[in-house]
Chain A
Amino acid sequence: MSLRSPLGTAKGLGSAKDGLHHWWAQRVTAVALIPLTVLFAFQVALLSMSDYKTVIDCIGSPWSSALIISLIVAAFYHAALGMQVIYEDYISNKAIRIGAIMTTNLMLFLLGTAAIIAVLRIALGG
């Protein structure tokens, strides 16, 4: 027996069966971001007075660039998930809500891609 009402089914309401994935992905990225953000923040702080060549060599070294790209992927995914929750809580108009979520996801995807390309260019010396 289904506990869902026929109207809810027709309107596509109720469980989309991906709520747990959203919750879990937010936690996985959160855990990943604990070491990644701390490492990056102190790396950049220690490089704050350094010249161009030193910064390029340090940021672009294989381990460093791998960690920064991991940071970018985790951070932008985490941001997209978090902003979605904020919109869902505060925007009651469905069209505006969906538009805001889509716009934010696309913007964050673009920013994340641009950041990854920048790091690759630094690492590969392009």
Chain B
Amino acid sequence: MSSNNRPLSPHLDVYRLPLSALLSIVHRGTGAFLSIGSVVLVWWLMALAGGEASFTSAQSFLGSFFGRLILLGWSFALFFHLANGIRHLVWDAGYGFEKEAVEKSSLVVIAAAVILTLAVWLAAFIFAAGA
């Protein structure tokens, strides 16, 4: 057949996903996750508005192991989406499209997401303790 040498789109099951492609789909995934996770934010604000009793029970759930696990995923998803979103804004402005630049900025995005997540949890565990 004449079509033998034509370029194919990648077969995803045998194709090693480049880091930039992985970050691209994770950006979507974290975006959808945060949309659903917004329920936690709304629930927390409503508990706070509802008075001391509802606030205390919301805080004790969020302070439990399961609550903290949700918040850990929530905060990392937020900071990843934030960092990669800033990269998208830079791309929108027309910068950083070269292959080396994309590979470098992928690592910067991951590092920024991890550092911001650590920083916010350090703020919660160290600086908030005395308040």
> Do A75 and B38 have beta carbons less than 8 Å apart?
yes
How near does chain B come to A49, taking the closest CB pair, in angstroms?
Answer: 4
> Do A46 and B127 have beta carbons less than 8 Å apart?
yes
> Do A86 and B39 have beta carbons less than 8 Å apart?
no
User: Does B123 count as interface, using CB distance less than 8 angstroms?
Assistant: yes
User: Does B106 count as interface, using CB distance less than 8 angstroms?
Assistant: no
> Do B89 and A27 have beta carbons less than 8 Å apart?
yes
User: Does A63 count as interface, using CB distance less than 8 angstroms?
Assistant: no
User: Does A41 count as interface, using CB distance less than 8 angstroms?
Assistant: yes
How near does chain B come to A67, taking the closest CB pair, in angstroms?
Answer: 13
> Do A52 and B34 have beta carbons less than 8 Å apart?
no
Q: Number of B residues whose C-beta is below 8 Å from A? A: 36
Quick one: which of B70-124 are within 8 Å of A by CB? Answer: 75, 78-79, 82, 85-86, 88-89, 92, 116, 119-121, 123-124
* Bound Cα distance from A111 to B85, whole angstroms: 23
How near does chain A come to B55, taking the closest CB pair, in angstroms?
Answer: 5
> Do B131 and A54 have beta carbons less than 8 Å apart?
yes
Interface-forming stretch among A3-11, A13-21, A112-120?
A: A112-120
* Bound Cα distance from A118 to B79, whole angstroms: 25
* Bound Cα distance from A111 to B88, whole angstroms: 27
Point out the residue from B39, B42, B89, B129 that lies within 8 Å of A118, measured CB to CB. Answer: B42
Point out the residue from A47, A83, A117, A119 that lies within 8 Å of B32, measured CB to CB. Answer: A83
User: Does A95 count as interface, using CB distance less than 8 angstroms?
Assistant: no
> Do B45 and A122 have beta carbons less than 8 Å apart?
yes
How near does chain A come to B21, taking the closest CB pair, in angstroms?
Answer: 15
How near does chain A come to B59, taking the closest CB pair, in angstroms?
Answer: 8
Instruction: A42-B123, A50-B131 are known; give 6 further A-B pairs, CB within 8 A.
Output: A34-B82, A38-B116, A52-B56, A54-B131, A79-B35, A111-B39
